[in-house]
Amino acid sequence: MADRILVFYGSYRRDRQGIRLANYCVRELKARGADAELIDAQAVDLPMLDRMYKEYSEGEAPEALGTLAGKIRSADAFVFVTGEYNWSVQPGLKNLTDHFLEEWFWRPAAIASYSAGRFGGVRAALAWRDILGEMGMVVVSSTIAVGPMKDTLDADGQPVGDGGKALEKQFPKFADDLAWWTAAAKAQREKVKPPY
């Protein structure tokens, strides 16, 4: 059965560029045989965190929250596509992830970052490593850092220039690392029930 991978993207900006990288990741994961789906925080449009999903009484959570909780629970792995805001994480993506906790447990995650500058969002990626680990995920060591976006992917998400060539070279290792940890986590869950 194909790996079920959710690709999360969190920008709410009007002229957002990172959606190119999110769509690229979904397309390339599908080309490798994964069942990949984009989860766009802007499209899901959760309210600012007041209650986590688990804090609602059964049947009381907003429909979008319940639907997303089911998708997260049924996923085998996650990719977080994150921009860098003031050397830190995007508030839209952070807000989305904070609505859940146990739903994330015991699955691997990978981080693809981007920025308008040459650092490619690596400072946000470093912050996400700790956040995702605290939320019960194993974060794979391979990363992708894209910057500047305009020199890497065009408006249709197609690689351009030297940045695009670098991304095409990086992506297979990134995907292979995530696939290895996904297979390991699936095998372990089949053998032993998670401890909590």
pLDDT digits (tens, 9 = 90+) for 3-47: 999 999 999 999 999 999 999 999 999 999 999 999 999 999 999
Burial code (b: 16+ CB inside 10 Å, e: under 16) for 51-60 equals ebbeeeeeee
Q: What is the pLDDT of residue 142?
A: 97
Q: Is residue 135 one of the residues assigned to a domain? A: yes
Residues of the chain under the 70 pLDDT cut: none
For the whole model, what pTM was predicted?
A: 0.97
Q: How far is CA 90 from CA 42, 79, 128, 172, 191, in A?
A: 12, 15, 10, 26, 37
Q: Is residue 18 one of the residues assigned to a domain? A: yes
Which domain covers residue 10, as residue numbers? 4-191
Tell me, what CATH number does 170's domain have? 3.40.50.360
Q: What is the pLDDT of residue 117?
A: 86
Dihedral class, residue 140 (left if φ above 0, else alpha if ψ from -120 to 50, else beta) = beta
Domain count, the chain: 1
Q: How far apart, in whole angstroms, are the C-alpha atoms of residue 128 and residue 113?
A: 10
Q: Is residue 196 one of the residues assigned to a domain? A: no
Q: Is 146 helix (H, G, I), strand (E, B) or coil?
A: strand
Q: What is the pLDDT of residue 1?
A: 86
